[in-house]
Every structure is written in C-alpha cells, then in structure tokens.
A and B are shown apart, each in its own frame.
Chain A
Amino acid sequence: MSILVNKDTKVIVQGFTGKEGTFHSQQCIDYGTKIVGGVTPGKGGQTHLGRPVFNTVKEAVDATGATVSLIFVPPAFTADAVMEAADAGIDLAVIITEGAPVKDMMYAKMYGTKKGMKTIGPNCPGIITAEECKIGIMPGFIFKKGPVGLISKSGTLTYEASNQVVKEGLGITTAVGIGGDPIIGLSYKQLLPLFEADPETEAIVMIGEIGGTLEIEAAEFIKQNITKPVVAFIAGQTAPKGKRMGHAGAIISGGQGTAQEKMEALRNAGVHVVESPADIGKTVAQVLGK
C-alpha cells in the first residue's frame, strides 16, 4: 500500500518534449512509472521516448486513461497547464515548475479544487511511492521501501531524510514533496490522514520550514486525528527576519512563522520534534522501537 499513487497509476507529462520534461520523464520510465504519454501543443501525433504525444490534455486523457499529470511547463504558462489538466478531468497534477507567479497559482488551485483535482507543488520534487512509481525529479534509488511516510516542503531535505531513514534499516512508503511556495497544493493537513489510513505506514516524517502557518495547522490536526507517531524537523531555526531564504514562502514576517513557534506547536501536539536535521532517521528508528 501507499498513498495517492502506485505501480498502476497512469501518468502523462505536460511539457513532455522539453529539456527538463524529456530528461525526467526518462528517469521516471526507468524507475518503473507508467508514463503513458505526454502533451506538447503543436507536437500531437509524434512519438517521444516511445510514448505518444498529444496536443491537448483532453486528448491524452481520452486516449490513455491517465489520471495523473506531471507538469514541467515554464513559469509563465504553468497555471494555464494546471487548469487545462483540471478541465480534462485529471485527478492529481504534480507541478514541478519553479518560479510560477503566486497570483497565477492562486487561480489555478481554485479552479483545480472546483474541478475536484488535487495538486502537489509547484516548486517541488514531486511524489514517489518507493519501488513502484516516481512522479517527479527525485533520485529514485534513495527511496527504499519501508514503513515511513514522508511529507516535506524541501527537495534535498527530503532526500536527506529518506537517506537517514534507509540507513537505519527502514524505508519509505510514499514521499511527497509539497513545495515551498506561498500557495501550494496538498499540504500536511491533507496528506497526514492518508498516511494515517495507509496500513503499511507506521510512522510519519514531516519536514517543514519557516514562513506561513501550515505546520501550526498540521500540529492542531495531528493532536485531534493522528495516532501514528510523527517525527518533525523545521528548517530555518537560525534564519533572520524578513529575508527570503531561497523559497518564496520562506520568509519570517513580523516575527510570525518562526521555526521556534512551529516546533513548540508540534511538540504540544505530541510530535517528536528534532532540533538537528541529522537526528531524523535515528528518531524514527527510536519511535518505531527498531
């Protein structure tokens, strides 16, 4: 078991024939993901990486039965691509693109929600169900199968965490990189109950960072609804106020959104909060008694 995606999930790629799209689609195919086609307007009818290319998402969905779309479309056109996916009946859009305007994503997410489409990202590494299906840009080999669900705002920190978990002799069910932008799709609050319900997931790792209140909302939710152990790390304990730390969402404004307040809220919710990012794997092993 896993959450959201597995070895049978059919995936199309928007921005399939571009440089990024091509490289990462190939990596996904090599990992075993069922990439069933792609969309590049104007290139419909061609074949790319041995898969059919379509002009529109609707055509791709009709022809392949895909339910997930992996999006590599450049920032200026990302929202358009997301809304096209929603309009075509896609269930889940995984948006890798970095640098999409916040206003665009605000509209795109609203429209997606209206059409019943979930989104992951933008500006994220994607989602991977270990040893089954990788829909994103993460290095697949780090994610060995095991009992730990992973939710993270950051890309490389996701790899770091998974690597630590695997070094402890454990592994990952599904890892979701939710992205660090001010407006993102699925977040802790929506993903936690999925892991709670997944029989293979025994513990959950949650990686957050400064800025916004998603981690605080997650803490409240965990207190009420999550019985599985949660281990959390919040990046940016040493970040100065008012500065953008790489991610557009990672700004502490007016003393709000600090790592300290998030760690405090999570601790109060019974979460095992680690101060050092080197202790994530160890702590997971401890709470699982392994």
Chain B
Amino acid sequence: MNIHEYQAKEIFREYGVPVPRGEVAFSGPEAKEIAQKLGGDLWVVKAQIHAGGRGKAGGVKLARSPEEVEKIAEEMLGMTLVTHQTGPEGKKVEKVYIEEGADIQKEYYLGMVLDRSSEMPVMMASTEGGMEIEEVAAKNPEKIIKVAIDPTIGFQGFHGRKLAFSLGLSKEEIRPFIQFAEALYKVYMDKDANLIEINPLIKTGDGKFLALDAKMGFDDNALFRHPDIHEMRDLSEEDPVEHEAEKYGLSYVNLDGNVGCMVNGAGLAMATMDIIKHEGGEPANFLDVGGGASAQTVAKGFELILQDENVKSIFVNIFGGIVRCDRIANGILQATKEVEVNVPVVVRLDGTNANEAAEILKNANIPNIIPATDLADGAKKAVAAAKGEL
C-alpha cells in the first residue's frame, strides 16, 4: 500500500525526520488560509497523487503570496496530472499540499528498500537528487551508494558515515545527516515500510537537512498491525475493480488486451497471460481466484472480467488439485447462471477428476462454453474466439 506525500511527512514528523512545515488542503480558500498560517514569503503548492514526476508535469508550483497560493491551488484541484509514472490516462488531483518554501542549497536523494539479495533493508543515497532517480540508476549506477543494514544490529554510526562521506558532506554536516538517516531507518522498520524515497533531500542555506519530498510504501502483509497506516489508504488512487476483487479475496490487475483470464494461483495466472500473448492474443487482465475456485468466486471473477468492455473472450484455466475439477465445473455452470456471460468462455480444467469435469461441461451443452484439452489448446481457442474466428 502507498500513501501520499503529506501523510508520509506526518509520519516523518512523528519520528523526528525533519520536513518543512505544511498542511493538506481540499479547496483554494483552505489553501490560502494555510499559507497565511504558515507565514513567510514563499510557498509551494503540491498536487497529492500517488506518483512521482509531479514537478515536471506542473504539479509542483511556487507561490509568492497567499492569494497566489489560492489561485494555483484552484487550478491544480480537479486537474488530471500526467507524469511518467501515471501512465497516459493520468491521475486526478483531489488534494494539494501547501508547504513553506525551502532555501535549497543542494539536492540529494535518500531512499530505503528491502534488498532481496542480502535480505536486509538497504539505505541508498546519491548526490544526483531532484532528477529522476531511475535514470541515474540505469545510466550511472555507481552514483547511488548503498548500505545494507543488518536489522539485528540496527542503524549504526558507521552506516551513516559511509553514506555521508560518499556524498562528500563536510565535517559539520555529518552529524545532522546521520541523525536524519537514523530517524529514517526507525520509521522504515517500525512501520513495516517496503519503500521510502526522499527525492530531494535538501541541505538548506543554514546547513540543515530537510525532506522536501516523501514517498512511502508498506508491506501489505503487515498492515494488520498498523491500523493508523491502514486508515491512510486512499481508494481514489486505486483501480476500483482491483479493489472490488480484493474484497472477495481475489487478486485482479487490469491490462490492455481483450482475452479475459480466470486462473487459480498467481504463477499460473501470469503464465496464462504469457501463453495468450504467445498464441497471438493480448490478455485483458490478471486474475487469481485462489485455490478454492468455488461457484461464488468464479461468478465474481466473471463479473470483474466483464466490467472491462474490451473483453471479447474469457479463458478459464484451472488446475484442480485438492479441489476437484468436477466441483469446479459445476461451479462454472452455476456461475454462468448467476452472471450473464455474453462472450465465449474457453474452459480448461486439468488435474483431479478432469475427465468427469469434461463430461459435465459437455452434457450441460451451453453454446458459449468451449472446453479445451490442455493449456496450449485453451489459449489457442481463447485467442481465436476473441478474434471472432471460433
């Protein structure tokens, strides 16, 4: 789960990670009021969406008076921001963050993720802050310094020094930087984060470090012990169909193609998308209905898939293990009674009692249910059906 910049900064404040003062606003007048409250003579209005690259897309703007803050906020609210991370459809801005302007002397990058090869959290820093860090990672990976932190010893001074010296910080800057990094480590661990990105981390004119931007992602499996973070979830940032699926314990991701997929198991679900492509089609979605594949989950699966108007055929690919195929076949028949399925459905059931299942489907004699014998056969038929060739 991801959260907004303003929410991440709230958490940072709680942990003593320095951030500029600021507040979130939902309207122009509210933005103006916040600017007046903050005082000073420079403010920044920042669109709150779950994507980076806002600056370049016009989602981060400086203002020199509370009136200007109001004007910019009004323009930004309701606009659709397209950045390199949002995809072409962009994201609608529903709230803006009003922050005091910072005196930027230098911009750095500081981040944390789980390093899957050392199986430890790793802190990453770079002098190339402010610009797209993906680009730096691709072109000049040596410019990103990484320090793995063994959680059994926690964050130590040497971790901080290693980063600080590679960033070329001066003697006086090292202490405040280490304090910053140590607080950040604590946030990451305490909150079960799986990603923190501060881009830019800045050094101010008076030698302080401040997080100007803040992105945080969390381990979904750990949300049960962080009700405060769970509450920060913003459903308007998520695909409504994906969210609907989640409510029923299904895992769904919408894609661009026209062959709907319903599969049990994440790996087989991905493999099913792959084979559809391999056979010359395009998958419309990823859908893992889990091990059970009952009439209920299959019915819900049909509903989810059919919300996408591009879908021209559906490939149901289920490998029955502990759950027998004959039961799944009956589930599919039941589901087609509950949900109106108006596209051809290619059904491949393999595993326990596959033959009985084939019998059941054959005897049901439903014209738009097309049985398949194996994975390749099913994919071929589903692709042909989507092209209207079946």
Contact = CB atoms under 8 A, between A and B. Distances in A.
B321 A157 contact: no
Contacts of A139: 320-322, 351-352
B275 interface: yes
A238 B374 CA distance: 21
Contacts, number: 172
Contact of A106 (B119, B225, B267): B119
B99 interface: no
* Residue picked from A142, A180, A182, A246, most chain B C-beta under 10 Å: A246
Nearest to B266: A246
Interface in B280-303: 283, 286, 288, 291
Given A238-B283, A276-B376, A250 B266 contact: yes
B269 A183 contact: no
Contact of A154 (B268, B321, B379): B268
A138 B291 CA distance: 11
B286 A246 contact: yes
A250 B270 contact: yes
Say which size band chain A's interface belongs to: 35 or more
A237 B275 CA distance: 9
Chain B contact residues: over half helix, strand or loop, or mixed?
mixed
* Residue picked from B152, B274, B277, most chain A C-beta under 10 Å: B274
* Residue picked from B116, B225, B320, B374, most chain A C-beta under 10 Å: B116
B114 to A, nearest CB: 6
Interface stretch (A3-11, A43-51, A192-200, A207-215): A207-215
A102 B351 contact: no
Interface string B351-390: 1100000000000000000000011100100000000000
A214 B116 CA distance: 9
A276 B276 CA distance: 9
Interface in A197-237: 207, 209-210, 212-214, 217, 233, 235-237
A84 interface: no
Given A101-B192, A236-B270, A278-B374, A156 B265 contact: yes
B220 interface: yes
A245 B253 contact: yes
A152 interface: yes
Interface string A155-195: 11111100100000000000000001011000000000000
A159 B219 contact: no
A237 B134 contact: no
B224 A76 contact: yes
Nearest to A141: B352
Contacts of A183: 114, 116, 119
Given A102-B221, A154-B266, A254-B134, A245 B375 contact: no
B319 A137 contact: no
Nearest to A98: B221
B270 A209 contact: yes
Interface string B76-90: 000000000100000
A32 interface: no
B376 A99 contact: no
Nearest to A213: B117
Say which size band chain B's interface belongs to: 35 or more
B274 A182 contact: no
A255 B221 contact: no
A236 B274 contact: yes
B48 interface: no
B286 A277 contact: no
Contacts of A209: 267, 270
B138 interface: yes
A102 B194 contact: yes
B25 to A, nearest CB: 28
B162 interface: no
B199 interface: no
A255 B134 contact: yes
A180 B221 CA distance: 13
Interface in A94-129: 99-104, 106-107, 109-110
Interface in A235-290: 235-240, 242-250, 254-255, 259, 275-278
A27 interface: yes
Contacts of A163: 319, 350-351
Contacts of B225: 76, 101
B189 interface: yes
A49 B224 CA distance: 32
B367 to A, nearest CB: 26
B351 A159 contact: yes
Nearest to A240: B255
Contact of B278 (A107, A138, A245, A276): A276
A75 interface: yes
Nearest to A76: B224
A107 to B, nearest CB: 7
A100 B266 CA distance: 17
Contacts of B277: 237-238
A233 B134 CA distance: 28
Given A139-B352, A237-B277, A255-B138, A212 B265 contact: no
A257 to B, nearest CB: 9
A161 to B, nearest CB: 10
Contacts of B221: 75, 99-102, 248
Contact of A238 (B265, B268, B273, B322): B273
Given A103-B192, A183-B116, A160 B375 contact: yes
Contacts of A245: 251, 253, 266, 269-270, 286
Nearest to B51: A242
Contact of B321 (A109, A142, A235): A142
A247 B274 contact: no
B383 to A, nearest CB: 12
A144 interface: no
The 3 A-B pairs with the shortest beta carbon distances in the complex, nearest first, are: A154-B267, A246-B266, A156-B265
11 contacts: A101-B192, A109-B119, A152-B267, A156-B321, A160-B375, A212-B116, A235-B271, A238-B270, A243-B286, A246-B286, A277-B271
